[in-house]
Homo-oligomer: A and B are copies of this chain.
Amino acid sequence: MESIGKQEKKYIKSLALKKYRDRERLFTVEGEKSVEEFLASSFNVHKVYYTGEYDFSNRHPDTKKITLMDMQQISNLKTASAVLAIVEIPSAEIKAFPCNELILALDDIQDPGNLGTIIRLADWFGINHIVCSLFTADAYGPKTVQATMGSLTRINIIYTDLYPFLKSASGENHIYGTFLEGENIYETELSENGIIVMGNEGKGISREIAGLISRKLLIPAFARNAAESLNVAMATAITCSEFRRRNY
């Protein structure tokens, strides 16, 4: 068992805040399975802390075996898991986006859990790129990382000003979004490739972005007095399922 000082603990805990993640370009990953996925991925893992339960000493050049109590102090979970890794945030250069793929664009998704679930859905549906507006929740925050269950290692996530991005992409791509006044998604022709925009939890797709949508879709409710709206992660699941089904 190695000791871990006050300063080191404070440093690790500071990465729960975006301000410090942005400065250090580092984030934390917790849980054996998630850490395993990051170790096996192209992500640059800086350090792995582990308790007695699993032996990670041979898995990485820089590991530290610590007490459960110390682990609880550096963890962002109510009940700490046996492993915590410090991982580098990949560089966020905006690559030219491939026109021959299906891409998700997120217009100010606020909830870290929703963002994590959407990243996991993208992984499931073979969507490799997610373009996030600058006010979308941070993909490297502890709650989002937790919710992605390792899918974060397989998805290319880029934060950028969404309007100019969509504007420049709109010439060659269909841009889809869900709206109350859209066409029934079950009966609309959907292209194999294109960009699907998902809107903010409370406000939906912003007016500015709505002007760039070339195909407005509606997910119809099946009940008379149904829930007013679907949660955005549910809407993403249904929308992606429809796109992929057509081209299965």
Kindly state whether residue A137 has any CB partner on chain B within 8 Å: no
Residues of chain B contacted by A244 (CB below 8 angstroms):
222
Number of interface residues of A (CB under 8 A): 35
Inter-subunit contact B154/A225 (CB<8 Å): yes
Inter-chain contacts of A230 with B (CB < 8 A): 120-121, 124, 237
Chain A binding surface, main DSSP class? loop
Tell me whether A223 and B117 are in contact in the complex, defined as CB-CB below 8 angstroms, given that A186-B248, A233-B234, A241-B241 are known contacts.
no
B124 adjacent to A226 (CB under 8 Å): yes
The complex is assembled from copies of this chain, and their number is 2
Q: How far apart are A84's CB and chain B's nearest CB, in angstroms?
A: 21
Residue interface bits A212-223, CB-to-B below 8 A is 1, else 0: 000000011111
Cβ-defined contact, B226 with A123, below 8 A: yes
CB contacts (< 8 Å) of A149 on chain B: these are: 227-228
- Asked whether, in the complex, the Cβ of A223 is within 8 Å of the Cβ of B125, the reply is yes
A9 CB within 8 Å of chain B = no
A60, CB-defined interface residue at 8 Å: no
A51 within 8 A of B: no
Q: What are some 12 contacts across the A-B interface (CB < 8 A)? A: A121-B234, A123-B226, A124-B222, A124-B223, A124-B227, A124-B230, A125-B221, A126-B226, A151-B227, A154-B226, A187-B248, A220-B248
